[in-house]
Amino acid sequence: MTDATAIRARFRERGFIVDEAFATALQIMLALEKPLLIEGPAGVGKTESAKVLAEVLETRIIRLQCYEGLDAMAALYEWNYPRQMLHARLSETEGLSLEDREAHMFSEPFLLKRPLLEAITQDRSPVLLIDEVDRADEAFEAFLLELLAEWQVTIPELGTIRARHKPRVIVTSNRTRELSDALRRRCLFLWLPYPSLEQEIDILRARVPGLSDRLAQQIAQLMQVLRGLSLQKAPGVAESLDWAMALMSLHRDHLDAQTLEQTLGCVLKVHEDRGVLDTHRAAVEPILEGASTALESGGYSLETDFGIGSVSRPRR
Amino acid sequence: MYPFGNLPDNLIAFCEILRRDHGFRIGVGELQDAARALEVVKLSDELAVRHALRSILSRTRDEAAVFDRAFMEFFFPGPPGEQQAGMPSTRRELEPEAAGREEHREPGRARPGEAEEAEEDAERPEAAGEALVPLATEPEAEAPALLARARYSPQAEAAGAAPELTRAEPAWRDAARALVRRLHLGLSRRWRPAARGRRFDLRRTLRASLQTGGEALEARWLRRSRRAPRFVLLVDGSRSMSTYAETALKVAVAIASVTMRVEVFTFSTSLRRVTDDVRRAAAGETRRLEYLQYAWGGGTSIGACLREFLQRFGGRSLSRDTIVIVASDGLDVGDPGLLREAMRELHGRSAGLVWLNPLLETPGYEPTAAGMSVARPYVTTFASINDQAGLVRFSRLVRLRT
């Protein structure tokens, strides 16, 4: 797994299409043992890529989802207070010295590991996904810097824990806020754009087996047009996959104006964007054809995780 | 160590061009990483080399976009198709070309004996990198201003017209502080330790109990802190606003000196981010906005500029904690429909949309200009600020969208 071509092939086996720029960035990231910061519009597979990387490396993925108000307690470690308290009461009569009792109470069994601590105490380099780091506040970003530079965590009661195996870190950002220069400096940078027409057809074929060529072509073409319009929420790859799944489940093998109208909710998530699309109807018309053909439906089962808007690959 | 003898030298020269011409921030660490990366990728594969170097040397999307062109210019100069078939696989082809180009580009640049030096240093990229460090530390933000000055030297006598940013006076700072304090946005999601609070802090209570032999005598509490407001200032830099724009920028500097959560833009025919200048001014530097002078003249297309702001910076600088302050007289020559749409979106994506209009002070003024009347429904606060007292008044006036 040292070669960009090999990385591409391994990712493809798992239904995830990466272009050469992405594969090279991953190769460099693995070789230099530096975190990789992936920025890009929503729904282009930033998070998914970390999961696939973990699969490819046959290692664990540890995920830290950032959110407003995320603090060190939730990200790093916490003492298990109820257990400590219980232990203190139960061991009252044992006649141990205060120092011994304290040393015991602040030892590893009483430590609750949160994702970051978990990631540096593994026996094998895990993939650490720090997801949507732009959602956490600046203070948390500063806190991350220490970890990303030194790979160690200091717990006052226990001492310093140093990483035995450096995790492979993928940091993602949706650019809802500008990240600090300091964080950028510690990471490799990759801008993940929307896929090109050919790439998107490729992705659709790889992820949605049984999808007709014509439909894949139409979906990809329409996506190119939609992303060219100035929509409030441009659809990502996740949306095209959802849409392809939806059309499959409706047993359509091509897109026409009526089908588009019925399933537009898979693609456009803001009401105003519908208006934008209507004003650019002319760009869409050539892609849609009126002629409807019967379809051959396969016994396809949906495996759509609507909670996060992505589609899991079918198990073999 | 390096299969291609003089490659580090080329790499260093390339990094220097990125730094000098494109404002990249490349230090010794990046150079080392780049050198290591070249050991990892196939050097015969031009694309791989480009992708690898891009991921290391560029830090933002804009830099990544510039990178490819700079790479091609440096390593493959000349029109496409000509003598380019040679990928950097053979150093004979690459080196003289690149090195020759370097000299050709900058005949007068003082790099005494660096070619020989670099030759010796080829095995030690970090040593060669150190020699370049001073370049990296020169204030790159000054470059655009210098560039603008050079470009407009014939009009040097008019330079006095460019607004000057200076450190905010204490009275202005106090007024800005009052403004930040008065804006109530509700509570943050984050729990902070406090003397009194709504949630019991078991951890700190137990921790404190260690001092009293394990008996918790004193309860510790957590409470939610207040959400801190963010500011976006959009200052009209057209000629009709020439005097008022300076006051608006003063407000910007005052706010920037009490909070980091501020972004400042100027617009007339196009939009420009001046946050860095404003921050530096707040830190005590005196900065002259040369390029703003350039932007003067011609009509103001407010709608188009706000639309540009929404597209380029909207996602990053607007949130439900953001107060958007537009300082303009509303004399718009653009499409009113465009302005209406932009104002509607600004209003919807912020905590409050403030319009500072200098004409409001004029007795008998009614905001009836075409631009003003379409913008009006979306403005949560109309005001005019002329001095620090005005800023204090404004902080009492400002209304937030609820």
- What does the DSSP assignment read for A120-183? HT-SS-PEEEEETGGGS-HHHHHHHHHHHHH-EEEETTTEEEE-SSPPEEEEEE--SSPPPHHH
| Domain finish residue from A146, A167, A191 | A191
| Domain finish residue from A167, A191, A215 | A191
Q: Enumerate chain A positions whose Cβ falls within 8 A of a Cβ in B.
A: 2-4, 20-21, 23-25, 27-29, 31-32, 34, 36, 39, 67-69, 71, 73, 78-79, 81, 84-85, 88, 102, 137-138, 174-178, 181, 184-185, 188-191, 230, 232
Average pLDDT score over chain A: 83
Domain count along chain A: 2
Give A256 to chain B, closest Cα distance, Å. Answer: 31
Looking at the partner chain, which of A68, A81, A137 has a beta carbon nearest the beta carbon of B203? A81
Give B277 to chain A, closest Cα distance, Å. Answer: 17
Same domain, A132 and A14: yes
Same domain, A51 and A143: yes
Residue B90, amino acid? T
- Alpha-carbon distance of B35 to A161, in angstroms, equals 31
Torsion angles phi and psi, residue B171, rounded to 5: -65, -40
- If you write DSSP's letter for every residue of B108-131 in order, what string do you get? T---TTHHHHHHHHTT-HHHHHHH
B384 three-state secondary structure? coil
Provide, as residue numbers in chain B, all residues whose Cβ is less than 8 Å from the Cβ of A191: 61, 64-65
- If you write DSSP's letter for every residue of B355-380 in order, what string do you get? EE-GGGGSTT--S-SHHHHHHGGG-S
B226 three-state secondary structure? strand
Residue with token string 């070669």:
A3
- Alpha-carbon distance of B384 to B394, in angstroms, equals 8
- The predicted structure's pLDDT at residue B233: 94
- The predicted structure's pLDDT at residue B155: 39
Domain presence at residue A109? no
Contact between B47 and A20 using a beta-carbon 8 Å cutoff: yes
* pLDDT band at residue A306 using 50, 70 and 90 as cut-offs: very low
Provide, as residue numbers in chain B, all residues whose Cβ is less than 8 Å from the Cβ of A178: 316-317
A281-304 average pLDDT score = 54
| Domain finish residue from A191, A208, A235 | A191
Same domain, A185 and A201: no
Domain presence at residue A265? yes
Q: Name the residue among B334, B347, B341 with its Cα closest to residue B236.
A: B334
Torsion angles phi and psi, residue A217, rounded to 5: -60, -45
Residue with token string 């950097």:
B88
Same domain, A161 and A227: no
Domain that holds residue A228: 197-311
Homologous superfamily (CATH) for B230-397: von Willebrand factor, type A domain (3.40.50.410)
- The predicted structure's pLDDT at residue B161: 62
- Alpha-carbon distance of A79 to A85, in angstroms, equals 11
Same domain, A274 and A235: yes
Same domain, A207 and A285: yes
In chain B, which stretches have pLDDT less than 50?
1-4, 82-160, 294
Same domain, A119 and A225: no
- The predicted structure's pLDDT at residue B92: 40
Same domain, A158 and A29: yes
| pLDDT higher at B179 or A292 | B179
Q: Name the residue among B346, B372, B370, B344 with its Cα closest to residue B358.
A: B372
Burial grade of A187 (CB within 10 A; 0-12, 13-18, 19 or more): buried
Report ipTM (2 d.p.).
0.73
Contact between A21 and B214 using a beta-carbon 8 Å cutoff: no
B139 three-state secondary structure? coil
Largest CA distance in chain B: 83
Give per-residue pLDDT as tens, A199-252: 999 999 988 888 888 889 999 999 999 988 878 788 999 999 999 999 999 888
Same domain, A210 and A130: no
Residue A121, amino acid? T
Same domain, A186 and A202: no
Contact between A191 and B47 using a beta-carbon 8 Å cutoff: no
Among the listed ranges A26-35, A307-316, B365-374, which one has the minimum average pLDDT value?
Answer: A307-316
Give per-residue pLDDT as tens, B161-214: 667 888 888 888 998 988 888 888 888 777 888 888 888 988 888 888 877 877
Contact between A27 and B202 using a beta-carbon 8 Å cutoff: no
CATH of the domain at A135: 3.40.50.300
- Alpha-carbon distance of B244 to B356, in angstroms, equals 10
- The predicted structure's pLDDT at residue B9: 84
| pLDDT higher at B373 or A64 | A64
Same domain, A187 and A221: no
Looking at the partner chain, which of B61, B190, B214 has a beta carbon nearest the beta carbon of A191? B61
- Alpha-carbon distance of B129 to B121, in angstroms, equals 9
- The predicted structure's pLDDT at residue B129: 39
A281-290 average pLDDT score = 76
Same domain, A184 and A210: no
Domain presence at residue A275? yes
Give B31 to chain A, closest Cα distance, Å. Answer: 12
**CB < 8 Å & 24+ apart, contacts of B280-285:** B280/B141, B280/B165, B281/B165, B281/B166, B281/B167, B281/B168, B281/B253, B281/B256, B282/B167, B282/B168, B282/B253, B282/B254, B282/B256, B282/B257, B283/B167, B283/B257, B284/B167, B285/B167
Break chain B into its structural domains and give their ranges. 7-137, 190-226, 230-397
> Is the per-residue pLDDT at A148 higher than 80?
yes
* pLDDT band at residue A159 using 50, 70 and 90 as cut-offs: confident
Domain presence at residue A88? no
Chain A's closest residue to B310, CA to CA, is: A232
Share of chain A above pLDDT 70, in %: 91
> Is the per-residue pLDDT at A50 higher than 90?
yes
Lookup: tokens for B223 = 């409470």
Contact between A189 and B59 using a beta-carbon 8 Å cutoff: yes
What is this structure's pTM?
Answer: 0.63
